[in-house]
Amino acid sequence: MSAAWSPLPGGEFTGIHWSAPGAIDGQDPYLAWAEADRFAGYRVAPKGKPPKWLPIVIELTPGASVPALVQASNVKWLQIPRVYLNLPGLRFCTAHAKPRFFERLRSDPLLRSLIQRFELGLPVGHHTQPIHDPCTPGSHPVVVPDRLSGQVLGLIDGGLAFANQAFLNARGRTRVKHFWRQDDTQDGNWTGNEPHHQTPLDPARAGPRPHDMGYGHELSGAAINAAMVTYTRGGRLDEDALYQHLQLRDLGKPVNHGTHVMSLACGKGNLLNPQDDEASRCVLIAVQLDWANVLDTSGGAMNVSVLDALMYILARCTPQARLVVNISWGTLAGPHDGSSILEAAMDQLIDLGEGRLQVTVPAGNAYQSRTHANATLAPGASLPLHWRLQPDDRTQSFLEIWIPCGAQGMAISVTPPGHAQPLPPLHKGQSGLWVDAAGRPLCGLVFPNDSALGTGSTCALLALAPTFSHNRKAVTAPFGSWQVTLTNSGTEPVVFDACVERDDVALGQNTGARQSYLEDAWYDTSGNIGSFVDHPDNPTPIRRSGTFNSLSTGQNTVSVGGTRQQASPGAHFALYSPRKPDPDASRPQRAGVKKVPDTLAPSDDNPALWGVLGAGSLSGSVVRLAGTSSAAPLEARRLINRT
Averaged pLDDT score across all residues of the chain = 93
- Residue 477: the pLDDT is 96
- Residue 44: the pLDDT is 44
pLDDT at 192 over 50: no
* CA gap 292, 42 in Å, rounded: 10
* CA gap 17, 11 in Å, rounded: 6
Query: Model confidence over 539-560: pLDDT tens digits?
Result: 999 999 999 999 999 999 999 9
* CA gap 443, 565 in Å, rounded: 44
Cα dihedral across residues 286, 292, 295, 299: positive or negative: negative
* CA gap 403, 303 in Å, rounded: 22
- Residue 45: the pLDDT is 46
Query: Which helix (H) or strand (E) segment is 389 a member of?
Result: strand 382-389
- Residue 508: the pLDDT is 62
pLDDT at 298 over 70: no
Query: Model confidence over 101-120: pLDDT tens digits?
Result: 999 999 999 999 999 999 99
Q: Are 322 and 422 in contact (CB under 8 A)?
A: no
pLDDT at 196 over 80: no
pLDDT at 78 over 60: yes
Query: Model confidence over 556-606: pLDDT tens digits?
Result: 999 999 999 999 888 899 999 999 999 999 999 999 999 999 999 999 999
pLDDT at 34 over 60: yes
**What dotted CATH number matches 372-543?**
2.60.120.1290
Average pLDDT of span 51-78: 97
pLDDT-based confidence at 19, cuts 50/70/90?
very high
- Residue 97: the pLDDT is 98
Q: What angle do CA 428, 434, 440 make, to 5 degrees?
A: 130
User: The CATH number of 151-356+609-642 is which of 2.60.40, 3.30.470, 3.40.50, 3.30.2010?
Assistant: 3.40.50
- Residue 191: the pLDDT is 43
Q: Are 277 and 182 in contact (CB under 8 A)?
A: no
pTM equals 0.96
- Residue 498: the pLDDT is 98
Average pLDDT of span 616-638: 97
* CA gap 85, 62 in Å, rounded: 17
First to last CA, the chain: 62
Task: Say which range, 114-118, 131-135, 450-454, 509-513, has the weakest mean pLDDT.
Answer: 509-513
Cα dihedral across residues 242, 246, 247, 250: positive or negative: negative
Domain boundaries, the chain: 37-128, 151-356+609-642, 372-543
DSSP assignment string, 39-105? TGGGSSSSS-PPPSSEEEEEEEPTT--HHHHHHHS-TTTEE--GGGGSSTT--EEEEEE-HHHHHHH
Average pLDDT of span 510-524: 90
**What phi and psi values does residue 230 have, to the nearest 5 degrees?**
-60, -35
- Residue 79: the pLDDT is 98
Q: Are 345 and 357 in contact (CB under 8 A)?
A: no
Query: Model confidence over 243-297: pLDDT tens digits?
Result: 999 999 889 899 999 999 999 999 999 888 899 999 999 999 999 998 776 666 5
Q: Are 23 and 446 in contact (CB under 8 A)?
A: no
Q: How far is CA 555 from each of CA 325, 348, 351, 641, rounded to the nearest angstrom? A: 16, 10, 10, 23
Query: Model confidence over 347-371: pLDDT tens digits?
Result: 999 999 999 999 999 999 999 999 9
- Residue 46: the pLDDT is 45
Task: Say which range, 247-261, 306-320, 508-522, 616-630, has the weakest mean pLDDT.
Answer: 508-522
